[in-house]
A = this chain, B = another copy of it.
């Protein structure tokens, strides 16, 4: 079997308590004894059992991270950055990938993180019922995308401003028939799609452009969904001359659909995305960039701070990071003859 604390204690000729204190840097151990214990411990390959120590101390040194889809670029990037912060601070991360509605439901009803984590970071804000479940854990909570929620420290961006910059850009180029590919359906209740939609509607209204429901389609935040949505838009009586996609993945799907329809981008149709996916540059996609990794890192840091100073007031509910429009090659003034 692997060595236990008493093995180390016996080898060092001290008590288990002393070993425990020595290895964790607690006072009450002379430097020589501490050094000797440390040497013995590494020699015996001793690592304290997390189960035992968290049972005894009540602290788990583990953080639960719940992700809607690890495989997607956005969340993968956020997770990567957050994990770095956590592991640098000595915390392990328990990953919960809540891809399907069933696993999502199971997670929030069974709450397998109960008594297992010191805090939880949700990469997408949970709905109110789910949030309540998490609050019942009695640990610090944080989230990245999706708007404010009581009990959560959330770091995100200004979706409204981002969307406005994108849609205004199209308006300024002279487009009047501006479509939108959104990701509002699905089981998740987050505010992002609706905030972006509202901003889209507002910009249109501001520009004196009547809203045409046929110019909206759902792309499910995936490439394939974006392709389907674009195909749908192209089937409209009067197709759009420009489209704003709520994510770069959907925008790329739209690009694919346009190519299949032998439409030129941006000559026939302009496309702007959202996120600045790492491959957007490759396809020359105009998009609104947001600091993805930084959001994950910042959320992690805020959570760690709460863990360090449990007595301090919870940090400001919401942190907003800057966005900016990145102009590339998928947007241009509408062609005089329009698409087709």
Min Cβ gap A241→B in Å is: 21
Which of A143-151, A172-180, A232-240, A279-287 is the interface stretch? A279-287
Q: How far is the CA of A282 from the CA of B69 in the complex (A)?
A: 21
Chain B residues near A77 (CB-CB < 8 A): 71
Chain B hits for A136, CB < 8 A: 45
Contact with B along A78-100 (1 / 0, CB 8 A): 01100110011000111111010
Please determine whether B115 and A49 come into contact, CB atoms closer than 8 angstroms.
yes
Chain A 262-283: CB-based contact to B (< 8 A → 1; otherwise 0): 0000000000000000110111
Closest to A259 in B: B284
Question: What are 29 A-B pairs at a CB distance below 8 A?
Answer: A2-B115, A2-B138, A45-B136, A47-B111, A47-B112, A50-B115, A51-B51, A51-B52, A51-B54, A51-B115, A51-B116, A70-B70, A71-B73, A71-B76, A71-B77, A71-B293, A73-B76, A79-B97, A80-B97, A80-B99, A84-B103, A92-B112, A94-B94, A223-B279, A223-B281, A223-B282, A255-B282, A256-B281, A256-B282
**Is A55 interfacial (CB 8 A cutoff)?**
yes
* A287 to B: closest C-beta gap in Å: 14
Interface string of A224-250 (1 = CB under 8 A from B): 000000000000000000000000010
Q: Who on chain B is nearest to A112 by CB?
A: B92
Is residue A110 within 8 Å, beta carbon to beta carbon, of the partner chain?
Answer: yes
Identify 20 new A-B residue pairs, CB closer than 8 A, beyond the known A76-B76, A87-B103, A252-B282: A2-B115, A45-B136, A47-B111, A49-B115, A50-B115, A50-B116, A51-B115, A51-B116, A62-B94, A69-B80, A70-B76, A71-B79, A72-B76, A87-B97, A88-B103, A93-B94, A93-B95, A223-B279, A252-B279, A283-B283
User: Is the C-beta of A153 less than 8 angstroms from some C-beta in chain B?
Assistant: no
What are the interface flags for A186-213 relative to B under an 8 Å C-beta threshold, 1 for contact and 0 otherwise? Answer: 0000000000000000000000000000
**Chain B residue, CB-CB nearest to A256:** B282
Q: Which residues of chain B come closer than 8 Å to A110, judged between CB atoms?
A: 47
**Nearest residue, chain B, Cβ from A227:** B282
Which has the most chain B C-beta neighbours within 10 Å: A80, A279, A293? A279
Nearest CB of B to A202, in Å: 30
Closest 6 A/B residue pairs (Cβ): A71-B80, A76-B76, A47-B114, A51-B55, A95-B95, A83-B97
- Quick one: copies of this chain in the complex? 2
Cα distance A252–B80 when bound, in Å? Answer: 22
A331 in the interface (beta carbon within 8 A): no
Q: Closest residue to A75 on the B side, CB-wise?
A: B76
Quick check: is A140 within 8 A (CB to CB) of the other chain? no
Is A18 engaged at the interface, CB distance under 8 Å to the other chain? no
List B contacts of A84 (CB < 8 A): 97, 99, 103
Q: In the complex, A264→B24 CA distance in Å?
A: 61
Kindly report which residue of chain B lies nearest to residue A251, judged by CB atoms. Answer: B282
Q: Which residues of B contact A219 (CB under 8 A)?
A: none
Does A60 sit within 8 A of B, measured CB to CB? Answer: yes
Chain B residues whose CB sits within 8 angstroms of the CB of A253 once the complex forms:
282
